[in-house]
């Protein structure tokens, strides 16, 4: 059997062998509760502290500004709830976010709506980008938190987070960004960015799932989501997942060291797929969704009007190719993508949108093969 082609790296990435090794090394090293005072506990704390220091150096922040969490979803929940509740004590009860956020942010905003916060969902243009002018009009002295993702997980569009962050902070609001899909593709110097809170996830960059990071800038008002023990300086209770944290740090080190090379290679694979579509598919049978330039290199969203995304995904799966219909989180349901709908794309374009996402190990040969397979599937179905 030929090796399957994995073009679904935005859903999750295969664990990097070096990260797996770091995981196993830590897990095998003994009982790992960093809060214990005995020798085993001290050894666990050394692993945890070492990982935090290394990640902080790579992200350009202080180690104590980083909180380990159970993943990107928890980081988003904790950031929004934690900052919003703290800001309410200062009389700020407005939230400004976008219509194209990940469900982890959108659902948390709906929860805040139930708690009495006034939430504004900024629209996106036809390329999936939020306009800074819309943010400027929406953010005022009552705004508690502004949350705008760095890179969209469905289209790869790169939002103007820096410009919006500057507006938010000039009006006394806290700025959060979900940077889950940006990690590994950008030089993230947190200290230099106009953000107070940022969410990251390990399993999108070759680390294990179930571990994430929340950056909380020094001095940011914050109420913890999880209460219990004093771990993570009282900002996230619960015994830290030391092996997973150690593996996350290793994966991030490799991603940072190889960032430029990985970015170039990813662009080559994406461009080869686009060139393959241009060569193999009849004109008018496909359309790219997202911004042509302001985008991350690893996500390509393409509609094949006339063929439902589910049908294309299933047919590609039968041919040994893994891709997603819209976001992975909504893949089990037939609900059309809220991101593409918010971009104002016609229904048919939304229903037929497939997300191809690339990463370590993908090749231009794979891209050429996938383009040919898509052409065969389209010819068979039309």
Site residues (CB under 6 A) for ligand PLP?
71-73, 76, 102, 104, 149, 153, 178, 180-181, 201, 203, 212, 328-329
Residue number, 45 or 298, with CB nearest to ligand PLP: 298
Measured from each CB, the residue nearest to ligand PLP is: 72
Minimum CB distance to ligand PLP smaller for 200 or for 277: 200
Q: State yes or no: is 329 an active-site residue.
A: yes
**Could you tell me the CA-to-CA distances from 368 to 240, 269, 320 in Å, in that order?**
43, 9, 14
Cα separation, 210 vs 316, whole angstroms: 28
- Closest distance to ligand PLP from the beta carbon of 205 (Å): 11
**Rounded least distance, CB 302 to ligand PLP, Å:** 18
Query: How many residues does this entry show for the chain?
Result: 382
Rounded to 10°, the helix 242-257/259-280 angle is 70
CA 326, CA 268: separation in Å to the nearest integer? 23
Scanning 29-71, the segments in alpha helix (DSSP H) are 39-59
Provide the 3-class DSSP secondary structure of residue 8: strand
With CA atoms as reference, report the closest residue to 206 among 153, 273, 259: 259
CB of 176 to ligand PLP, least distance (A): 12
Short-list 117, 38, 134, 28, CA closest to 80: 117
Whether the CB-CB separation of 143 and 168 falls below 8 Å is answered with yes
Contact 164, 148 (CB under 8 A): yes
For Cα atoms 65, 69, 74, give the angle at the middle one, nearest 5 degrees.
115
Which residues touch 81 (CB under 8 Å, ≥6 apart)?
108, 111, 112, 223, 225
Estimate the share of the chain in helix, then strand, then coil, as percent rounded to the nearest 5: 45, 15, 40
| Least Cβ distance, residue 241 to ligand PLP (angstroms) | 13
CB proximity list for 230: less than 8 A, separation 6 or greater: 35, 237
Residue among 8 and 265 whose Cβ is closer to ligand PLP: 8
Longest Cα–Cα distance in the chain: 68
| Rounded Cα gap, residues 185 and 158, in angstroms | 11
Nearer to ligand PLP, 201 or 315 (CB): 201
Nearer to ligand PLP, 312 or 327 (CB): 327
Name the residue nearer to ligand PLP (CB basis): 288 or 328: 328
| Least distance (Å) between residue 131 CB and ligand PLP | 20
Name the residue nearer to ligand PLP (CB basis): 105 or 309.
105
Q: Which two tokens stand for residue 25?
A: 């090394």
Minimum CB separation from ligand PLP for residue 151, in Å?
A: 7
CB of 338 to ligand PLP, least distance (A): 13
Of 40, 61, 109, 329, catalytic: 329
List, by residue number, the catalytic residues: 329
């Amino acid at each position: 059997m030929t090796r399957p082609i994995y073009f679904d790296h935005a859903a999750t990435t295969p664990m990097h062998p070096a990260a797996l090794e770091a995981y196993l090394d830590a897990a095998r090293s003994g009982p790992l509760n960093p809060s214990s005072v005995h020798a085993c506990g001290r050894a666990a704390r050394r692993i945890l502290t070492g990982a935090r220091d290394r990640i902080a150096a790579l992200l350009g922040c202080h180690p104590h500004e980083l909180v380990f969490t159970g993943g990107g979803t928890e980081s988003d929940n904790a950031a929004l709830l934690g900052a919003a509740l703290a800001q309410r004590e200062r009389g700020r009860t407005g939230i400004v976010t976008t219509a194209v956020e990940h469900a982890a942010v959108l659902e948390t905003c709906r929860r805040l709506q139930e708690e009495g916060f006034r939430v504004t969902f900024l629209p996106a243009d036809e390329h999936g980008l939020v306009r800074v002018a819309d943010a400027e009009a929406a953010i005022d002295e009552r705004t508690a938190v502004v949350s705008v993702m760095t890179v969209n997980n469905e289209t790869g569009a790169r939002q103007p987070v820096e410009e919006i962050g500057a507006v938010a902070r000039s009006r006394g609001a806290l700025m959060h960004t979900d940077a889950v899909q940006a990690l590994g593709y950008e030089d993230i110097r947190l200290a230099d960015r106009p953000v107070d809170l940022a969410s990251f996830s390990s399993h999108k960059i070759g680390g294990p799932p179930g571990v994430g990071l929340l950056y909380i800038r020094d001095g940011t008002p914050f109420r913890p989501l999880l209460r219990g023990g004093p771990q993570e300086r009282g900002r996230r209770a619960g015994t830290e997942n030391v092996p997973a944290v150690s593996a996350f740090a290793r994966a991030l080190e490799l991603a940072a060291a190889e960032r430029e090379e990985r970015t170039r290679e990813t662009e080559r694979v994406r461009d080869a797929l686009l060139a393959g579509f241009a060569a193999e598919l009849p004109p008018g049978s496909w359309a790219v969704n997202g911004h042509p330039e302001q985008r991350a290199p690893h996500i390509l969203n393409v509609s094949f009007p006339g063929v439902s995304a589910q049908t294309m995904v299933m047919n590609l799966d039968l041919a040994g190719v893994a891709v997603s219909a819209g976001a992975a989180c909504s893949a089990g349901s037939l609900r059309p993508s809220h991101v593409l709908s918010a971009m104002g794309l016609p229904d048919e374009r939304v229903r037929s949108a497939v997300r191809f996402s690339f990463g370590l190990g993908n090749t231009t040969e794979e891209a050429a093969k996938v383009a040919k397979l898509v052409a065969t599937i389209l010819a068979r179905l039309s």
